[in-house]
Amino acid sequence: MTEKAKTKVDELRDALKKRKEVEEANVDSEDATVEENSLEGELNAAREEAKEHYDKLLRVMADFDNFRRRNEKEKKEAIKFANEELIQELLTVMDHMDQALSHIKQSDSAEAKNLALGVELVVKQLASTLEKYGLKPVDAVGQVFDAKLHEALQMVDAEDVAPGTVVAQHRRGYLLGDRLLRPALVDVVREK
């Protein structure tokens, strides 16, 4: 082969090589575009998944915060009302002492009056101690009947008292904090 022909063959070979390289580059470019689109899709899916996880995390954190607050409130209430049963039992003792006082006061003897004074002091001391733990008596006589605080035993007639007014108390009622521990047993003036 002549030199000219060799050069021409080399040129064609080089051109074919370049063409092959360009085609490969185009194929790589198309693959890169496809791969790029695929990666973008995966990235968007990962972003969505991350957003969902973040939303779930926020909900779980809010739920936990609500649980913690509710638990603290229940704990405070449990502590506040832990002595409720004991106080109710002691109220029965106070009722019995009040009844004993009313019977002792009916006597005229000096010994009975001294006994009444001693029992009164014990009742006052017990009431004072229970007040330290949040016990408050419910005032009933002279008050308007309140079904949340009073329990009516009977309806009575009274001329000079407004209807719905409590005129007698058979058993004192008590609040423990702001919760009704026991309602007062009362007589209420009847509507005319």
Integer Cα distance of 95 and 92 in angstroms: 5
Same domain? 127 vs 153: no
| pLDDT computed for residue 98 by the predictor | 86
Same domain? 8 vs 49: yes
| pLDDT computed for residue 134 by the predictor | 87
Domain limits at 128? Answer: 85-133
Q: Which one of 63, 80, 97 terminates a domain? A: 80
| pLDDT computed for residue 27 by the predictor | 58
Integer Cα distance of 127 and 183 in angstroms: 17
- How many domains would you assign to the chain? 3
Same domain? 149 vs 162: yes
Same domain? 149 vs 129: no
Query: 161 and 144 in contact (C-beta within 8 Å)?
Result: no
Same domain? 5 vs 75: yes
Same domain? 174 vs 139: yes
Integer Cα distance of 5 and 51 in angstroms: 67
Same domain? 59 vs 121: no
pLDDT by 10s per residue, the chain, length 192: 556 555 656 666 777 777 777 766 665 556 667 767 777 788 788 889 989 999 999 999 999 999 999 999 999 888 777 888 888 889 999 998 888 888 887 777 888 888 888 889 999 999 999 999 889 999 899 899 998 999 999 999 888 888 899 999 999 999 988 889 999 999 999 887
| pLDDT computed for residue 173 by the predictor | 93
Whole-model pTM?
0.58
Same domain? 122 vs 144: no
| pLDDT computed for residue 65 by the predictor | 96
